Structure 1
Amino acid sequence: MKKVTLLGLGSIFLLAGSSKAVPLIDFEVSIGAIQQKPGGYVSYKAGSDADKIDVKNDARLGDETKPWAKFKLEHPIPVIPNIKLAYMPMKFDGSGRLKREIRWGDYRYQADADFNLSVKLDRVDTTLYYNLPFIKTASAGKLDVEFGLNVRTIMFDGKLSGTTTGGQRVTESKSITLPIPMGHLAAEIRPINQVSLVGEINYIGYGKNTYHDYIAGLRLNPHGLLRTPLKPFVEVGYRYEKLKIDEQDVKTDLKVKGLYGLVGVRF
């Protein structure tokens, strides 16, 4: 996955670099880092609520800082949607001592024994969206609104190592790939050319599953002060995510939040 991601990012930068040969098409590329502070629980083949593992109190999963890469393409053809792509790795590791007997997968793990838990939630976002041109025109470019569909593909892997009630040390894991379609809404408010406020929300709810996230950020656009054909920017903000799923014997109710920072350029 890492090789594919690096190859894809390389292609994106190459395409963006040649965008001057494609009139009326705008590219935006950004990369940065994001804090990931997890909370909530995860379980696999749980028989009761007692089998849910609290990622902070039981497993003591630590906070992480991971990279975040984004790409955006806009064009003037009304019926064809614009596109945004993003990649964010997410992986937490922790260890603890079970206060109770639990079931994870096909085994029961004994109380008062050490265990290790690893949870991976890498994701790729593919967003197809439209702008609301009359809003941007009416506001003289001060407000831009986007709406569309975001398909978030999550590559989940949960792995637990511990001592079973029979005294055997085992490791059991579960991996699933979930493409999750979500409604998408984003906005940028630019009171002056060099400063803008950005926000974004993705949401879906069906059955026992609820998934949403939002970002709120401040973007600085110094290109009006610099003599360059490129339009660099810096963005800082906050991101919150809630993932409640019940799929293929995996149940989660996780919250991940933290600050982020991005540097990027528009062509």
Structure 2
Amino acid sequence: MKKVTLLGLGSIFLLAGSSKAGPLIDFEISIGAIQQKPSGYVSYKAVSDIRDRIDLKNDARLEDKTQPWARLKFEHPIPIIPNIKLAYMPVKLEGSGTLRDIIKWGGYEFEANTDFNLSVKLDRVDTTLYYNFPFIKTATAGKLDVEFGLNVRTIMFGATLSGTTVDNEIVSESASITLPVPMGHLAVEIRPINLVSLVGELNYIGYKNNAYYDYVAGLRLSPPVRTPLKPFVEVGYRHEKLKIDERDVKTELNIKGLYGLVGVRF
């Protein structure tokens, strides 16, 4: 995956370098950090939807984390071909607690009143193909830009429970899923003055017993520099909710927190 990522980044940098010959081509890169405050539950091969789930906050006491967040954006003037955004955000949460009841997790039953450890991973890669809403940016002299399209989010979910079984064995049992999730995408940027922008983004899908959405609301500040590279700082809030019922895994995750990014546009 690292090789693919490096090749993709190299290709985008080559395209961005050619933008000198095409002033309507815009390239943007940003990187920063995001708080991840989790809540919800997770179960694996549960018999009882209530008894065999682990509450992430109350039972496992998963710790809040701060993780990196990287984004790329490429826009061009060809009307038919969509623009593209790429993003990567890892999630790795760990916690521990004491089981209040006997629970079924995977192929084991874990004993009540025993200690356990739980780790949850939810890495994701976003590939967004989008269009700018026609004429809005021109009609508002660049003060409003609306994007709409399709975001394919590849999620790499994993959960590992370690503890003591009813047979007094110390075991670890893991569940993992990799899913490409297509989501509707909408983004808005409002720029009342050249140095300040309000940005927002929404991704959503719902089907059967699954639902997934996230939204971002932020403030972007751009210093007044006269260079081809236009730096910016963005701060804001992000909230994500994921509900999965797939391949014996049932989970509902809420992850929210503040974020901060630095980047350049050219």
Fold conserved (TM > 0.5)?
A: yes
Q: Distance in 2 between matches of 1:39 and 1:61?
A: 8
Shift of 1:103: 0.8
Closer, same or farther: CA 32–20 of 1 in aligned 2, 3 Å? same
- Whether the 8 Å contact between 1:164 and 1:170 is mirrored in structure 2 is yes
Shift of 1:17: 4.5
Q: Distance in 1 between matches of 2:18 and 2:70?
A: 19
Matched to 2:238, the amino acid is: R
Closer, same or farther: CA 12–31 of 1 in aligned 2, 3 Å? farther
Closer, same or farther: CA 140–23 of 1 in aligned 2, 3 Å? closer
Q: Distance in 1 between matches of 2:214 and 2:95?
A: 24
Q: Secondary structure at the match of 1:50?
A: coil
Shift of 1:175: 1.4
The corresponding residue for 1:38 is 38
The corresponding residue for 1:58 is 59
Matched to 2:51, the amino acid is: A
Matched to 1:27, the amino acid is: F
Shift of 1:180: 0.3
Matched to 2:132, the amino acid is: N
Query: 2:199 matched to 1:201?
Result: no
Q: Distance in 2 between matches of 1:17 and 1:45?
A: 51
Q: Distance in 1 between matches of 2:28 and 2:255?
A: 26
The corresponding residue for 1:108 is 109
Q: Distance in 2 between matches of 1:5 and 1:98?
A: 41
Q: Distance in 2 between matches of 1:59 and 1:5?
A: 34
Shift of 1:133: 2.8
Question: Structure 2 matches for 1:206-217, cutoff 5 A?
Answer: 206-217=207-218
Shift of 1:19: 3.4
Q: Distance in 2 between matches of 1:36 and 1:4?
A: 27
Give the TM-score taking structure 1 as reference length: 0.95
Q: Distance in 1 between matches of 2:57 and 2:4?
A: 32
Closer, same or farther: CA 3–190 of 1 in aligned 2, 3 Å? same
Aligned residues: 265
Matched to 1:192, the amino acid is: I
Matched to 2:119, the amino acid is: S
Q: Distance in 1 between matches of 2:27 and 2:218?
A: 20
The corresponding residue for 1:47 is 47
The corresponding residue for 2:230 is 231
Q: Distance in 1 between matches of 2:6 and 2:116?
A: 34
Question: Structure 2 matches for 1:247-262, cutoff 5 A?
Answer: 247-262=246-261
- Whether the 8 Å contact between 1:13 and 1:29 is mirrored in structure 2 is no
Q: Secondary structure at the match of 1:51?
A: coil
Question: Structure 2 matches for 1:1-267, cutoff 5 A?
Answer: 1=1, 4-5=4-5, 8-9=8-9, 12-13=12-13, 15-48=15-48, 49-222=50-223, 225-267=224-266
| Identity score, percent | 78
**C-alpha RMSD of matched pairs (Å):** 1.5
Structure 1 ranges of 4+ moved more than 6 A = none
Matched to 1:61, the amino acid is: L
Q: Which runs of 5+ in 2 are unaligned?
A: none
Closer, same or farther: CA 146–42 of 1 in aligned 2, 3 Å? same
Q: Distance in 2 between matches of 1:127 and 1:199?
A: 15
Q: Which moved more, 1:8-17 or 1:45-54?
A: 8-17
Q: Which moved more, 1:236-245 or 1:3-12?
A: 3-12
Matched to 1:20, the amino acid is: K
Matched to 1:246, the amino acid is: D
Q: Distance in 1 between matches of 2:37 and 2:6?
A: 25
- Whether the 8 Å contact between 1:45 and 1:105 is mirrored in structure 2 is yes
Q: Which runs of 5+ in 1 are unaligned?
A: none
